[in-house]
């Protein structure tokens, strides 16, 4: 079998992005006994860049442990985490539709940052990077926000939107990494994987 990596993420978009650069991968997902969501809690007034790098490191620690516990064949393990922030405020995944409306009202007509951290471990070696991008939403009416939230797309997504989905109709400008905003910055990811000897 040719080289492959483990992707410790439930995001179908991250899997598609790895396919895009020709990286064979298998999913290494948290079981019900692991409290994966608790890893994403914010500590006090933590800076967004520090937060996203720390959470990604914790996810990778848990994934490496999972690999050992399950006795799976050795291969590099990749984790990523994306956070949306307005100033220093971290806008996580909405709790429900009302929360999604609240978040989108804040983003409408504003520029915000999207930070995606990637970390890969192979044996004892660990490499990581953080991609920073900027997204500007056009002003949105209450009816537009409500209609978008009704699609269900904002739920489960940092910042209550998916750049590759219907939110694109409201995004005026993007600076940085489109794939990073989707959840896996391909330039940085490929560089990290190559540094560990994985072909992209």
DSSP labels, 64-110: HHHHHHHTPPP--EEEEEEEEEETTEEE---SSHHHHHHHHHHHTT-
Note whether 91 and 85 are within 8 A (CB).
yes
What is the 3-state secondary structure of 156-189?
CCHHHCCCCCHHHHHEEEEECCHHHHHCCCHHHH
* DSSP designation for 39: G
**Residue 58's CB: how many other CB atoms inside 10 A?**
17
Q: Annotated catalytic residue: which of 81, 89, 96, 99? A: 81
Can you tell me which residue has the tokens 């930070």?
Answer: 115
* 81: annotated active-site residue: yes
Enumerate the active-site residues: 81
């Amino acid at each position: 079998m040719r080289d492959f990596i483990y992707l410790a993420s439930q995001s179908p978009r991250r899997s598609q992005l790895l396919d895009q650069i020709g990286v064979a991968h298998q999913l290494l997902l948290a079981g019900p006994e692991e409290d994966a969501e608790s890893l994403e809690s914010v500590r006090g007034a933590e800076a967004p860049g520090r937060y996203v790098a720390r959470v990604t490191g914790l996810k990778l620690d848990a994934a490496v442990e999972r690999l050992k516990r399950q006795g799976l064949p050795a291969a590099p393990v990749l984790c990523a985490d994306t956070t949306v922030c307005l100033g220093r405020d971290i806008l996580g995944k909405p709790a429900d539709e009302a929360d999604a409306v609240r978040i989108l009202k804040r983003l409408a007509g504003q520029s915000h940052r999207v930070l995606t951290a990637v970390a890969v471990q192979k044996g004892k070696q660990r490499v990581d990077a953080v991609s920073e991008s900027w997204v500007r939403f056009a002003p949105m009416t209450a009816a537009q926000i409500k209609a978008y939230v009704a699609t269900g797309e904002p739920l489960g997504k940092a910042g209550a939107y998916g750049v590759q989905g219907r939110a694109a109709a409201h995004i005026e400008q993007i600076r940085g990494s489109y794939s990073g905003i989707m959840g896996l910055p391909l330039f940085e990811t490929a560089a990290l994987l190559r540094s560990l000897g994985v072909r992209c």
